[in-house]
Structures are given as C-alpha cells and as structure tokens.
C-alpha cells in the first residue's frame, strides 16, 4: 500500500489488555469484580459471556462487540474466551468495563454473575454451571445463537430450555436469536453508530490509512473465503477503474495469484481494529463481506455489498443465503426489477455449493453488476427497516429484566445507559 498503513497492529493481546490469570480468579471480590460504574442505588449487573473460538474471527468478533456494547450500556462484563489472540488487533484498546478471562476447565471458585451468556452453544465449564444452579438467585442463562434470516428463527427466539439433568439441572436456559425482524433479538448496533457514520470524513480516513484513490476510481473491499467466483467478479469490476482493498488471508492469497485486468489495482490491508474495519466498510463503494459480523457491519455501512456465507458441507449456507435474499428483496418473481435479478444471479455465483458444482444443466449464467443506484437504494431501504428494531444489547437487557431483577443490580442498571447514547464512537 502506498505510504504504508497508518494503523499499527500490536503483536500480542497481552500487551494491551489485562488478562486475569486463573490463579487470580479467587481474588475477585464477592461483589463480583470491580466497577467504575458502581453507584449508591444501583450496581451494574455482571455478565459472564462465554466464547469458544471454533474457526475464523467471527466467534470472538461478535462476542467482543457484544461485550463492549453491554459495557457501554453501563454493564460489567467478564468475557471468558479460549482463544482471545485476535483481540490483539480487533480491540487493541480493550474496554475498561470488560475483563477478558482465559477459558478455564474449572471455575468452582468463581461466583457466577447476574447473567450468563454462552455464545453459540459453547457450553460453559461444568463447575461454573453447578455454581449457577447452587446460587441463591441463579443467573439468567442465555444461549446466544448464530445469526440467520430463516423463518424458524422467529419461532425459536426466546424459547426456554429447562435443564432436567447435568450440572445445570433445575435451571432454565433461554434461546436468544439475533435476526432481521422484530420477532428476533435484533442485531448489534452501538448507540451513536449511525450518527458517527453520518459525520465520517472518508477522504481524511483513507489518507490516514495510506490510501489515495485516483479520479473516478471505485474502492472495493474484499473480505472473503476461498471463492471460485472471484476471477469472474474481478472481470466484471474491470468495467471501471477499481482499487481492490484486500484483507489479510484468503482475499490477498487468491488475488495475488490472479492476473488483474487493466484499470484494476490492489491494496494489501493489515488487520484493522473493529473500529477501523467499520470505517473501511463506510469508505467503500462496494463491500464483499463474509461470515456474520461483517455482514452486519456492511448493513450499517449502507453501501452496496455481497455476502459470502461460510460454506458448509451440507450446503446449509445456501438455505441461509436464500433466506436472507428473500427477506431483503422479496420472493423471486419472473418480472422482478432488473437490478434484483442481477443481484440474485451474482449473489448465487458468489455463494457456490460446497463442493462447487454447475448451478444449472446449462452451465454458469452470465453475470452482470446490478445497477449501482438501485443497489444502493435497496441497501438503504434494508438498513432503514432494520433500524426500526431494537438492537441486540437493548433486547438482551430487556429480556434479562423481564426474567426478574438479578441479585445485586438495580432496576436502572438493566437499561441502555443514557450516557452510551451520547458517547462519540
């Protein structure tokens, strides 16, 4: 990248955020840790958020954003994670109200907080669950599920799962599904995010990153898995001078092996913090995103985007992909607008079966970039619709409040902290 990246990535997460070694756990006081927000009348609730990193960056990425947002709402959060290494670049500054803790096999000496969230059914340690069951006022226990636009999500969101055996016998675990309709738990959307987006100075930010766009050059961000449709998409993008900003990993590896058409150049990006990654998406003319968290951030960015879902062996990603498109564009019809037909075609090519196979007996359909004006307006109308629903943290706070006030926390501590709304992002 010309001028080099202006954003530094720390080498180790441990350099930047205090990690609590397991030997220190016993020193957490009975009041369940320290808090800068403790007040005479209401003490912030303590949330234990458990995260196991299965693959890629989404597990810890989603958990960090949620933890930081709950903290911005005035809560205290312990994020228990088996591999927090990616937080070194995602969240180099940490958050004063979030303690990142190593995932321990035994947690019998730690008093559970007011709320326990296990992300993506990751199963908190048995000792900890036993302590939850034994507590005089057991915490509210939530299983935060993966994001999907499928219809069944609305039916399952908020359902109880009474535990009849195992360490949590007698407790109830609640299913909490993020999603795209008012019958779901919503999406992570920090207070003030859209306002910060509105104030954003694209040129200044790109300059700081070391990116200088040429006249009429389109900026395309590429964050993807290995994708056989990439050469085809690159050819389509050659209709206009284009700078392809490549995230580390698959995007850089694939594009560096390709011969680029004239008028196209590449910019190799370092890993950016989530804060800066958001701004990268805000800067782009087209965002090619993957997984769950970057989809949500592309939605809030409000720029045309394509979403590559994590390819699953049973092709479950194709079902999820179709559900998202139908929710966005409406059911596919023969006479639908041209931009929608183009987008569906491109989207399907961008999300091949696993392993890839010919989509039709007649071969690969011809692809076209959707009309950019309609595409942008379509994303904007999707975004406006999603802004009508409460964000994930607000819904979690309301849900936990409705399950009865947790021990040690005042009524007002289970609402989005008013200060959070005013905080500049």
Among 56, 232, 252, 376, binds ligand TRH (CB under 6 A): 56
Cβ distance 227 to 348 under 8 Å? Answer: no
CB closer to ligand TRH out of 190 and 293: 293
Minimum Å gap between C-beta 107 and ligand TRH is 25
Annotation says 292 is catalytic: yes
Active-site option among 118, 276, 292, 342: 292
Interaction between residue 293 and ligand TRH (CB under 6 A) = yes
Minimum Å gap between C-beta 222 and ligand TRH is 10
Minimum Å gap between C-beta 275 and ligand TRH is 8
Among 61, 179, 302, 304, binds ligand TRH (CB under 6 A): 61
Among 167, 183, 310, 408, binds ligand TRH (CB under 6 A): 310
Interaction between residue 247 and ligand TRH (CB under 6 A) = yes
Among 29, 55, 105, 314, binds ligand TRH (CB under 6 A): 55
Q: Name the residue among 278, 285, 288, 296 with its Cα closest to residue 254.
A: 288
Annotation says 105 is catalytic: no
Interaction between residue 205 and ligand TRH (CB under 6 A) = no
Residues in the chain: 425
Minimum Å gap between C-beta 120 and ligand TRH is 8
CB closer to ligand TRH out of 90 and 255: 90
Q: CA-based diameter of the chain, in Å?
A: 71
Number of residues that bind ligand TRH (CB under 6 A): 21
d(CA 144, CA 322): 23
- In this structure, the number of other CB atoms found within 10 A of the CB of residue 334 comes to 5
d(CA 79, CA 85): 13
Written as six digits, the tokens of 37 are 């927000």
Interaction between residue 58 and ligand TRH (CB under 6 A) = yes
CB closer to ligand TRH out of 76 and 290: 290
Query: Strand 172-176 relative to strand 160-162: parallel, antiparallel, unpaired?
Result: antiparallel
CB closer to ligand TRH out of 56 and 354: 56
Interaction between residue 291 and ligand TRH (CB under 6 A) = yes
d(CA 209, CA 7): 7
Cβ distance 384 to 407 under 8 Å? Answer: no
Instruction: For 99-132, give the DSSP string.
Output: EEEEPPS--TTS---SEEEEETT----HHHHHHH
Interaction between residue 292 and ligand TRH (CB under 6 A) = yes
CA dihedral sign, ordered 50, 321, 379, 220: positive
Active-site option among 59, 69, 111, 342: 59
Residue nearest ligand TRH (C-beta atom): 58
Among 75, 97, 99, 274, binds ligand TRH (CB under 6 A): 274
How big is the CA angle at 67 (ends 131 and 271), to the nearest 5 degrees?
130
Stretch that binds ligand TRH, among 18-26, 270-278, 364-372, 393-401 (CB under 6 A): 270-278
Cβ distance 255 to 222 under 8 Å? Answer: yes
Stretch that binds ligand TRH, among 124-132, 134-142, 192-200, 266-274 (CB under 6 A): 266-274
Interaction between residue 420 and ligand TRH (CB under 6 A) = no
User: What residues between 110 and 169 interact with ligand TRH by CB under 6 A?
Assistant: 146
**For the window 68-107, what string marks contact with ligand TRH as x by the rule CB under 6 A?**
----------------------x-----------------
d(CA 63, CA 49): 8
CB closer to ligand TRH out of 233 and 309: 309
How would you label 337-364 residue by residue, b for 16+ Cβ within 10 Å and e otherwise? eebbbbbbbbbbbbbbebeeeeeeeeee
Helices 372-387 and 338-350: crossing angle in degrees, nearest 10, is 80
Cβ distance 364 to 358 under 8 Å? Answer: yes
Written as six digits, the tokens of 328 are 């966005």
Among 294, 321, 351, 395, binds ligand TRH (CB under 6 A): 294
Where do runs of H (alpha helix) occur along 201-307? 202-209, 230-237, 250-255, 274-283, 293-301
Interaction between residue 223 and ligand TRH (CB under 6 A) = yes
Minimum Å gap between C-beta 48 and ligand TRH is 21
Task: State the catalytic residues.
Answer: 59, 292
Q: Which residues bind ligand TRH (CB under 6 A)?
A: 55-59, 61, 90, 146, 223, 247, 271-274, 277, 290-294, 310
């Amino acid at each position: 990248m010309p001028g080099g990246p202006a954003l530094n990535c720390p080498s180790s997460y441990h350099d930047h955020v205090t990690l609590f070694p397991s030997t220190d756990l016993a020193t957490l006081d009975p009041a369940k840790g320290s808090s800068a927000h403790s007040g005479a009348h209401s003490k912030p609730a303590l949330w234990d958020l458990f995260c196991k990193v299965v693959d890629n960056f989404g597990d810890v990425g989603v958990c960090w954003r949620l933890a930081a947002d709950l903290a911005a709402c005035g809560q205290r959060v312990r994020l228990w994670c088996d591999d927090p290494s990616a937080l070194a670049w995602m969240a180099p500054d940490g958050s004063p109200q979030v303690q990142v803790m190593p995932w321990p096999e035994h947690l019998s000496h730690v008093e559970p907080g007011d709320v326990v969230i296990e992300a993506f059914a990751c199963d908190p340690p048995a000792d900890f669950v036993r302590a939850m069951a034994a507590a005089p006022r057991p915490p509210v226990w939530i299983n935060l599920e993966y994001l999907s636009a499928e219809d069944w999500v609305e039916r399952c969101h908020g359902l109880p799962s009474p535990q009849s055996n195992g360490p949590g016998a007698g407790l109830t675990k609640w299913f909490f599904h993020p999603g795209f309709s008012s019958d779901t738990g919503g999406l992570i959307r920090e207070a003030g995010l859209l306002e910060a987006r509105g104030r954003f100075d694209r040129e200044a930010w790109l300059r700081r990153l070391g990116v200088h766009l040429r006249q009429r050059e389109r900026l395309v961000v590429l964050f993807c898995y290995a994708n056989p449709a990439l050469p085809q998409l690159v050819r389509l993008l050659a209709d206009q001078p284009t700078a392809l900003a490549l995230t580390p990993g698959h995007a850089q590896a694939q594009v560096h092996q390709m011969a680029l058409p004239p008028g196209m150049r590449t910019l190799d990006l370092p890993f950016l913090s989530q804060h800066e990654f958001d701004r990268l998406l805000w800067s782009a003319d087209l965002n090619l995103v993957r997984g769950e968290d970057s989809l949500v951030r592309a939605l809030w960015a409000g720029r045309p985007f394509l979403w590559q879902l994590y390819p699953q062996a049973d092709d479950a990603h194709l079902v999820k992909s179709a559900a998202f498109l139908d929710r966005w564009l409406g059911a596919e019809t023969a006479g639908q607008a041209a931009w929608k037909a183009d987008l569906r075609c491109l989207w399907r090519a961008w999300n091949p079966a696993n392993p890839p196979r010919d989509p039709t007996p007649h071969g690969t359909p011809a692809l076209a970039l959707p009309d950019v004006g309609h595409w942008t307006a379509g994303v904007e109308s999707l975004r406006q619709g999603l802004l009508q629903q409460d964000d994930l943290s607000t819904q979690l706070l309301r849900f936990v409040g409705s399950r009865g006030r947790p021990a040690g926390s005042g009524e007002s501590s289970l609402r989005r902290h008013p200060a959070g709304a005013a905080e500049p992002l």
